């Protein structure tokens, strides 16, 4: 049986969702499930709690930064408020991170590589 995730699961341990976020989460959960299934072989055989955790994280990333801001500044008269959004949130896109893939034993292309010398 597939893991069931609801907008309430997304809100749990984070904060209550707005009505618009609830609608967005409802649409994002199945998309995140499909995306994760493409990246992780035999996803159905993985622990339900782990699958649920990763999908919740994927959806929360989008809800935390729906517009994909990298840097955001607001000014009113002589007052300015600004900041830089964490790079893991700055895409505003639904994705599974390399670290999350590693939880499932999926290796991703890293920055290092191996060169074997000799015959084999």
Each residue of 42-55: pLDDT tens digit? Answer: 999 999 999 999 99
Each residue of 12-35: pLDDT tens digit? Answer: 989 999 999 999 999 999 999 999
3-state secondary structure at position 77: coil
Taking the model in full, what pTM does it have?
A: 0.74
8 Å CB contact between 46 and 106: no
CA 110 to chain centre: 19
């Amino acid at each position: 049986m597939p893991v069931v995730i609801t907008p309430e699961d997304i809100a749990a341990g984070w904060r209550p969702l707005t009505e618009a976020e609830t609608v967005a989460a409802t649409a994002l959960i199945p998309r995140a499930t499909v995306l994760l299934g493409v990246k992780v072989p035999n996803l159905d055989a993985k622990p339900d709690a782990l699958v649920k955790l990763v999908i919740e994280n994927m959806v929360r990333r989008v809800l935390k930064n729906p517009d994909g801001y990298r840097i955001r500044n607001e000014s009113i008269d002589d007052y300015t408020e600004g900041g830089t959004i964490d790079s893991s949130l700055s895409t505003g896109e639904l994705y599974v991170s390399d670290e999350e893939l590693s939880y499932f034993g999926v290796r991703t292309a890293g920055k290092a590589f191996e060169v074997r010398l000799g015959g084999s």
